[in-house]
Amino acid sequence: MKQFKLGLVPKLIIAIILGILIGQFTPLWFCKLVVTLSTNFSVFLKFVIPLMILAYVTMGIADLSQGAGKLLVVTVLIAYSSTLIAGSLSFIVSDTLFPHFMTPDALEKIQATADVSVGSYFTISLPAVIDTLSAVVLAFILGLCMSTLRGKTIGTSLYNGMKDFSAIIDSVLHTAIIPLLPLYICGTFVDLTYSGKTFTILSILWKVFVVVIAMHLIYIFMQFTLAGSIAHKNPLTLIKNQIPGYTTAIGTQSSAATIPVNLECAKADGVCSQIRNFVVPLCANIHMCGSMITITACATAVCLMNDLPISLATVIPFIMTLGVAMVASPGAPGGSIMTALPFLYMVFGTTAGDPNGPICALMVALYITQDSFGTACNVSGDNAIGVVVDQIYKKFILKDAEAKAEPATAKTV
C-alpha cells in the first residue's frame, strides 16, 4: 500500500492558517512560545544561507565548463533590467490608481501598529561564518577559478572538495530546513496576527494592498510568458511549477530562505542542474522585481497621503540607484526596505526623507505588511530568468562549444 505523503504546499497553507488561528485565539504566552521556536529556527536559517549560497553558486559556475563569465554577465543584466522595468511600471500604475482612494488620515492609524510585536522568550546567538554578499563574491571567485582550472590537479582537488561541501549542505537542507519551514511560516503569521499589524493596515489600505499584489501577479505572468515564448515552453505550466516557491516565499519573507524550494521549482521547469544551481542562488540576491514594485508603490502612496510631489523624473533615478543598492540588502524579512531608507530622500525630499522621521516609518510599516508577496514575486521571477538563461546556455554556448570541437575530431579521424 502506497504511503500517503502531504506535499509542501498543503503544509505551508496549513501553517499559515494555524498561525492566524493561534495569533487570534490563544494567550500571549503560547504565541510567544511559537514565535520563539520560529525565531530561533530563523537564526539557524540565516547561519546556513551564506553557506548554501557559497556551495550552490560556486558549483553552479564551476559546472559551467563553457561560457561561465558570459552567463554571469547575461544573468546580471537580465535581473537588473527586470528590476528597473518592474519599478517603472509600478509607479505608472500607482500614480494612476492611488489618488482615487487614498486618505490623509491613514498615516496616524498605520503608525499606531508599527512597533507592536509578540516578541520571543529568548534568542540564540549564532553569527554567520560569512555574510551573504561576501558569500556571493567568494562563490564567483571560486567558481570561475574552478571552471578555468578544470583538468589540473589543484582545480580537481578544489572541485572535489566543494562538491563534498555542497553535498553536506544538501543534506542539511533536506533533513532540517525544508521540514521545519512550516514552523517558520507559522511563527511569522502568529506575530502578524496577534500584534494586529496585518488586520489594522489591511483595514485601512486594503485597496493599495490589492493593487500591489495584482501588479506582482501580472508581472509574474508577463515574465513567464516571455520566458515560455523564448524557451518554447507553456507559460501556464511554468507558473504552476512555481506555486511551491511562491507559497514558501510568502511565509518566509526571504528570497534566500526560499532557495531550496525554488531549486526544485527550477528542476520541474526543465532547467539543467548547472544553470539552476547558478541562477537561483544568484538571483535571490540581485533580482528584486517584486520588492521594487512594492517599494515604488508604497512610496507613491505615502507621497499622495502627505501631499508630496512625485513624478517619473524623480522615481527613475531612485529605481536605478536602488536596483544596484538592493544587491547588498540583508537576506531577511524587510531587508530591502532597510536598504532603501537612505535613498528615500530622492523621492520624498531631504526633509521628509529623513530615515528616522515619521514618513519613512510609514514606509517601513507599509512595506513590511506586503513584503512576503514582494518576495514571492522576486523568487518567481528568478525562475523565469533561469528558464531564459538555460535556453541561452543550450542554444548558443553549448552548441558553439560543440561546433568548435568538431574540426578537432575530424582531424583526429
Per-residue pLDDT tens digits for 84-95: 999 999 999 998
Average pLDDT over residues 192-201: 68
Residue 150 lies in a domain: yes
Each residue of 240-251: pLDDT tens digit? Answer: 999 999 988 887
Residue 1 lies in a domain: no
Residue 165 lies in a domain: yes
The rounded mean pLDDT for the chain is 80
Residue 87 lies in a domain: yes
Query: For the whole model, what pTM was predicted?
Result: 0.68
Q: What was the pLDDT predicted at 115?
A: 60
Of the candidates 112, 98, 136, the one whose C-alpha atom is nearest the C-alpha of residue 302 is 98
Q: What was the pLDDT predicted at 314?
A: 86
- The answer, yes or no, to whether residue 232 has pLDDT greater than 70, is yes
Structurally, how many domains does the chain consist of? 1
Residue 77 lies in a domain: yes
- Residue 178 identity (one-letter amino acid): I
| CATH number of the domain to which 377 belongs | 1.10.3860.10
- The answer, yes or no, to whether residue 229 has pLDDT greater than 70, is yes
Residue 404 lies in a domain: no
- Give the structural domain span for 135: 8-399
Q: What was the pLDDT predicted at 216?
A: 95
Q: What was the pLDDT predicted at 162?
A: 86
Residue 412 lies in a domain: no
Q: How far apart are CA 241 and CA 181, in angstroms?
A: 19
Residue 175 lies in a domain: yes
241 against 148, higher pLDDT = 241
